[in-house]
């Protein structure tokens, strides 16, 4: 088990689109395990690789007692919407009502490179959309209306974690993790 530091709002990795996974190897399986361990320890409903400083298109989720992951997700969203509270492990302690599609069909791969189709609604749909946004360099506060976003930014500036420096990460010269790859 390897719990990783979760990057906080302001860290550039959270605004950088992640690269597609091309190598379904042992390093990817270690990354998925680290994401799951960190997500469950936090605890959270989901965690994307950029949130632990890894610029790859991978996320994990824990919804309705199901732990899973998805690599290189592509989403098909319903036109019907939901509106409800949403938070983020990279913005700890904050939650704001956020509009999302009510249901989603997410296509991607598992950590072994096998095709996966994940279908869900309500909380699972919200989670999948939220984590896929992370892979695109988008935070949930970007989806808020103008007034709510202003309130969110005030809350972020007032948060006790605001302005914390990102953790220093030592990367093996043989690893592409942590290099924005």
122 backbone φψ class: left, alpha, beta (φ>0; ψ -120 to 50): left
The residues pairing with 87 across neighbouring beta strands, listed in sequence order, are: 95
- Residue 81 annotated in active site: no
Which entry of 86, 131, 147, 164 is annotated as an active-site residue? 131
Q: Of all helices (H) and strands (E), which one includes residue 132?
A: helix 123-135
Q: Helices H, strands E: what count in the chain?
A: 3, 7
Pairwise CA distance, residues 16 & 19, whole Å = 9
Q: What are the backbone angles phi and psi of residue 107, rounded to the nearest 5°?
A: -110, 140
Would you name the residues annotated as active-site residues? 131
């Amino acid at each position: 088990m390897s719990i990783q530091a979760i990057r906080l709002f302001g860290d550039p990795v959270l605004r950088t689109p992640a690269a597609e996974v091309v190598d379904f190897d042992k390093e990817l399986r270690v990354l998925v395990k680290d994401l799951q361990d960190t997500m469950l320890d936090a605890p959270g409903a989901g965690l994307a690789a950029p949130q632990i400083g890894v610029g790859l298109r991978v996320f994990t989720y824990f919804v309705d007692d199901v732990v899973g992951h998805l690599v290189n997700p592509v989403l098909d969203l319903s036109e019907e919407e939901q509106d409800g509270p949403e938070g983020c492990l990279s913005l700890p302690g904050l939650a704001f009502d956020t509009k999302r599609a009510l249901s989603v069909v997410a296509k991607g791969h598992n950590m072994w490179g096998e095709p996966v189709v994940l279908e869900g609604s309500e909380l699972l749909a919200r989670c999948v959309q939220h984590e896929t946004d992370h892979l695109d360099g988008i935070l949930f506060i970007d989806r808020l209306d103008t007034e709510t976003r202003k309130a969110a930014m005030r809350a972020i500036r007032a948060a006790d974690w605001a302005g914390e420096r990102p953790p220093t990460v030592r990367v093996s010269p043989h690893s592409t993790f942590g290099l924005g790859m």
